[in-house]
């Protein structure tokens, strides 16, 4: 995969590659998330609070954590960029995704577009990646599982892998519903999720 390295770079290198790709962004940023459980970075207090059954405290902490990304969302709005998270879900929701639903509610209020997808094949058939326009993709390495914890990733700027990832993202979006419609009834061949019930 071109300079998509054969061994995962350290997480610091992955983050540096993100900054470089973001600086070149002109139009659209897509984030595809498929793991149903992640372990957040050390020091993320909101996840710990939620795991301890303190949902309201987790919500408050998630709001605080989101403030750190406020400049990013302001830039997205100022530059009129598309910023979309494509979130694959499998039912029943994991505890992690119930926690994340609170986060999605907060992030959506800040301007992030979040689309929920129940894909036609198991979510384990997919992988997490970031797509910056049509020039760069970052593919996450979350270790062996079953709970994802990022240890690095791969970078590619080669045309063929980028076309493949673009096609995959577009296909997933054909199954997607934006936040207000996730619980609607009667979607042929689709499972539905009652978002309100997940964050209660």
Task: Give the pair of three-digit tokens for residue 179.
Answer: 């936040």
Tell me what pLDDT residue 143 has: 83
Tell me what pLDDT residue 2 has: 41
Query: Of 151, 38, 44, whose CA–CA distance to 98 is shortest?
Result: 38
Beta bridge partners of 132: 29, 136
Which residues, 6 or more positions from 126, have their beta carbon under 8 angstroms from its beta carbon? 32, 34, 88, 119, 168, 172
Q: Spell out the domain ranges in the chain.
A: 23-126+163-199
Tell me what pLDDT residue 179 has: 62
Tell me what pLDDT residue 44 has: 85
Query: Of 143, 138, 162, whose CA–CA distance to 17 is shortest?
Result: 138
159 vs 129: CA distance, rounded Å: 16
Query: Of 3, 60, 72, 63, whose CA–CA distance to 31 is shortest?
Result: 72
Q: What is the pLDDT of residues 126-138, one digit of tens each?
A: 999 999 999 999 9
Q: What is the pLDDT of residues 161-186, one digit of tens each?
A: 999 999 999 999 999 987 644 444 33
Which residues in the chain land under pLDDT 50? 1-8, 180-200
């Amino acid at each position: 995969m071109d300079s998509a390295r054969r061994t995962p770079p350290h997480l610091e290198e992955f983050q540096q590659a993100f900054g470089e790709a973001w600086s070149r962004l002109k139009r659209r940023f897509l984030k595809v998330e498929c793991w149903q459980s992640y372990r957040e970075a050390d020091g993320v207090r909101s996840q710990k609070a939620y795991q301890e059954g303190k949902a309201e405290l987790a919500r408050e902490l998630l709001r605080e954590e989101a403030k750190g990304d406020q400049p990013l969302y302001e830039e997205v709005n100022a530059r009129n960029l598309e910023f979309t998270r494509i979130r694959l879900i499998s039912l029943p929701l994991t505890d992690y995704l119930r926690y994340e639903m609170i986060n999605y509610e907060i992030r959506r209020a800040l301007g992030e577009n979040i689309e929920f997808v129940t894909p036609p094949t198991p979510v384990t058939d997919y992988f997490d990646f970031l797509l910056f326009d049509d020039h760069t993709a970052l593919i996450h390495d979350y270790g062996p599982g079953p709970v994802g914890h990022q240890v690095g990733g791969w970078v590619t700027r080669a045309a063929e892998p980028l076309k493949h990832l673009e096609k995959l993202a577009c296909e997933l979006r054909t199954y997607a519903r934006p936040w207000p419609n996730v619980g609607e009834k009667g979607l042929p061949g689709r499972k539905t999720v009652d978002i309100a019930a997940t964050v209660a």
